[in-house]
Amino acid sequence: MTMHFASVEGKAARRMAVSHSDKGIVISGDPGSGKSTLVYMLSEEYGKEVYAVGLYWRNMYKKEHPDGSITFEEYWGTRSDRDQLEANRSLRHYAQDLGYIVDTRYASIFDKERCLIIYLRAPLEVRAERLARRPEYSGKALEEIEAILRKRQDDEVAIGKRLFGVDYRDRNLYHLILDTSLLTPEEELSAVKSEMRKLMSLVRKDR
């Protein structure tokens, strides 16, 4: 398990200022859709801790293959169903009981009444262009990166169906769907804050 934390400066003040921040936030989306950027902004905004499954797998990859003898995609593709369940089993506790931000593809395991669940999408060519700017994709053609993204997405969809019986791209799983190719990160943050206020308003009416 790997967690990273928002900066502690002003955390108490932010929690007081956004009293609705006790709700967990679940971020799902296509590979390269900008989840990490939004997660970071939400962590700063709400002073929330983050549990990121993707970071967990990348740390495991670096630990087991420090020499880069295989690519991350090759490593990730060899993970068993048991490995995937182990990595995901505590997610509900972190989001629903502790109010963390959780970064995972598999939103179907979360209670929509206890978490705000968000899906990020963007066209394949846009996501490939974003990844092309990362050091690990240096020297790869856009067509090659697009093929990598397709393979990763197909693998993740198959795993989700096999483990949880659901395609993570099913829009019915989410409160909010954002096309990150059409929005700035600041606009994404604003949309999430608005949706969070709506969700908390409904909770208060039920009490």
Give mean pLDDT, residues 91-111.
Answer: 90
Q: Which two tokens stand for residue 38?
A: 């939004």
Give every strand in the sheet of 24-29, ordered side by side: 3-4, 50-52, 101-103, 24-29, 115-121, 176-179
Q: Which residue has the higher pLDDT, 178 or 53?
A: 178
pLDDT per residue as tens digits for the range 141-169: 999 999 999 999 998 899 899 989 999 99
Number of domains composing the chain: 1
Give mean pLDDT, residues 4-12.
Answer: 35
Distance CA 47, CA 192 (A): 15
Give mean pLDDT, residues 110-121.
Answer: 93
Q: Which two tokens stand for residue 56?
A: 């967990």
What's the gap between Cα 48 and its chain centre? 14
**pLDDT band with cut points at 50, 70 and 90 for residue 4:** very low
Q: Which residue has the higher pLDDT, 94 or 180?
A: 180
The confidence score (pLDDT) of residue 12 equals 39
What's the mean per-residue pLDDT of the chain?
84
The confidence score (pLDDT) of residue 88 equals 77
Q: Which two tokens stand for residue 72?
A: 């991350």
Domain extent at residue 63: 3-206
Measured CA distances, 51 to 5, 100, 117, 190, 203 (Å): 9, 7, 14, 22, 24
The confidence score (pLDDT) of residue 20 equals 43
Distance CA 178, CA 29 (A): 9
pLDDT per residue as tens digits for the range 38-81: 999 999 999 999 988 777 788 889 999 999 899 888 887 888 88
Check pLDDT > 90 for residue 174: yes
Query: Residues of 116-127 as b/e, b for ≥16 C-beta within 10 angstroms?
Result: bbbbbbbebebb
Give mean pLDDT, residues 181-190.
Answer: 96
CATH of the domain at 108: 3.40.50.300
What's the gap between Cα 200 and its chain centre? 21
**pLDDT band with cut points at 50, 70 and 90 for residue 177:** very high
Beta bridge partners of 45: none
**pLDDT band with cut points at 50, 70 and 90 for residue 207:** low
Beta bridge partners of 109: none
